[in-house]
Amino acid sequence: MASPFRFVSTPRRRTITAAIAGTILLLQGCRVGPKYIPPVVQAPPAFKEVAPQVAADGSTWKPATPQDATLRGKWWEIYQEPELNALEDKLNISNQNIAQSFQNFMAARAQVRQARASYSPTVTTTPAYTRARASANEGSQGLSNVNLNSNDFNLPFDVSWEPDVWGRIRNTVREYANAAQVSAADLANERLTEQANLAVDYFEIRGQDELIALYQQSIEAERQSLKLTQVLRTTGIDDDQAIAQAELNLRTAEATATNLGVARAQYEHAIALLLGEPASTFSIPVRSLTTEVPAIPVGVPSELLQRRPDIAAAERTMSQANALIGVETAAFYPSFSLSAEGGLQSSTIGNWFAWPSRFFSVGPSASQTLFDAGLRRATIAQYQAQYDGDVAAYRQTVLTAFQQTEDYLASLRILTQQRQQQQQAITAAQRYYDLADVRYRTGVDTYLNVFTAQTTLLSNQQTAVTLHVQQVTSSVQLIEALGGGWDVSQLPSEKSVAAKKM
C-alpha cells in the first residue's frame, strides 16, 4: 500500500518546492545495505608436492620453481612447439565457445550501462495536433458568423527523475558491474580451458603418432622373424608351430597399429572443433612426440587466489550478491521522485512558439510501503542466504584449486620417476630379446622364447610412450590449475565495464 503526495509548483510554492528538492539531493549521499568485505581463506604456506620427495632409488625429486620466471599469457610457448603455437593463436580467434563467452561479457557490460541510465532524468515528448469542428445546431443557433472549426497545437515535455537517496541505483549498478566482472572472469576461464584442451589433444595425437611408429617398427621386425622362421623350417630346425606363432605376432601387431588410427582421427577431429573448422577439411601431419616437460614455476598456494579466473569469478559473485542485498534493503525506505511538465500550446500555428503559449508544472513526490506482510524481510533473507551460499562456493573453488594443483604436481613427480624406471625396464626387455634372438638363430631355443621376448619388449615400449604422453599432458593441466599466466589485475574494474569502449 503506497501513500503518494505531490506538490504542484505555483508562484507561492516555488520556495517550498526548491527546499524539498534540495533536501532530496542532500540525501543522495546515503546508501543502505551491508558493506562488502571479502571472506578470508587461509592458504597453506607451500604446496606439499613442492617439497623434495625421495624416490624408490634413494634419489630426491623436486619440481623446478625458478624465481625469475613466471607463466605468461602465451604459456604454451614454453614447450617450444611452433606447430602448437600456431594452433593456439588460431584458437584464440576462431574458437566458438570463446566467441560465445565474449558475447556474454558484452551483454553483461550493456546491462551495466542500462543500470547507469537510472542516474539521469528521463525526458519524453508527445507532440500533437488536433483539428475539431463543433456542431452548428448546438450553442450557436441563429449565429451565422460563428467559426465552428478549432485547432490545437500541443508540444509538451515531461521530465522525471528519481534521486538515488538510499543507494538503490548505486547498488544496482554495482550488482550489474560485478556480474560483468564475473562474465569477464568466465571468459578468461573459458579461454584457458580451451587452450589447455588444445594442448592436451595436440600432445595426445603426437603420442598416437609415436605409438604408430613404434608398431610399424615392430611389424617390420615381426615380418623378418616370420621369414627367418620359414627358412629355418625348411632346414628342419623349426616346425609349423613356430611359423604359426611368428605369424600370430605379426598379425596382432598389424591389427593393433590399425586400431591406433581411430584415436588419432578422433583427436584430430577434436582439434578441428576447437579451432572452429569442419573436421572434414582439417588435418595434422604425422610427427612423433619429442617434447619434454619444461620447468614450470609453481609459486605458493596464496598466489592461486590472484591467478585463477574461476576464483576471481567466485569472489565477484559474492560482491554481486552483497550489492543485491543493498538494493532490497532500500525498499524499507521512502522513494522520492522529481517530475516536471512543460511545453507550448496554441490554437494557431503562428502563436505556437510565442512566449504566452507556454505552460508548466513541477513538483516532488514520495511513496512509502506501509504494509507488505513481511515481503521485504523475506526477500532480504533470501538474498542473504544466497550470499552465504556464494561464500561457501568461493571457499570450495579455492579448495578445489589447491587440490588440482597438488594432483598435477603429484602426477608429474610420480610420472617422472616412473618414466625413469620404465626406461630401465625397456633396457632389460631389449637385452632379454637380444639374448632370445641369438639363442633362436643358433638353434639353442625355440621361437616361443623369441615370441615372448618380443611381446615383452613391445609392451614396455608402449608403456613408455603412454607415460610420456601422460607426463606432458599433466604439465599442461598443472599450468591450467595455476591459472595459465592470468592474474586478477587483468580483470576489468567496475568503472571500465560500464564504459562504451574498454
Task: Decide which of 257 and 55 is more confident.
Answer: 257
SS (H, E, C) 386-438: HHHHHHHHHHHHHHHHHHHHHHHHHHHHHHHHHHHHHHHHHHHHHHHHHHHHH
pLDDT over 80 (residue 23): no
Structural domain spans, the chain: 7-31+121-136+148-163+335-367, 38-119+165-333+374-498
CA atoms within 13 A of residue 376's CA, in its CB half-sphere = 13
pLDDT of residue 365: 84
Segment 374-429, tens digit of pLDDT? 999 999 999 999 999 999 999 999 999 999 999 999 999 999 999 999 999 999 99
pLDDT of residue 65: 47
Residues composing the chain: 502
Cβ atoms within 10 A of the Cβ of 437, count? 19
With beta carbons less than 8 A apart as the criterion, state whether 298 and 409 touch.
yes
Q: What is the mean pLDDT of residues 119-135?
A: 86
**Matching fold, domains 7-31+121-136+148-163+335-367 and 38-119+165-333+374-498:** no
Confidence of residue 441 (pLDDT cuts 50, 70, 90): confident
pLDDT over 80 (residue 121): yes
Alpha helices (runs of H) in 235-362, residue ranges in sequence order: 240-274, 304-307, 309-329
d(CA 11, CA 211): 94
CATH number belonging to the domain at 7-31+121-136+148-163+335-367, selected among 2.20.200.10, 2.40.110.10, 1.10.10.10, 1.10.357.10? 2.20.200.10
CATH number given to 38-119+165-333+374-498: 1.20.1600.10
pLDDT of residue 6: 39
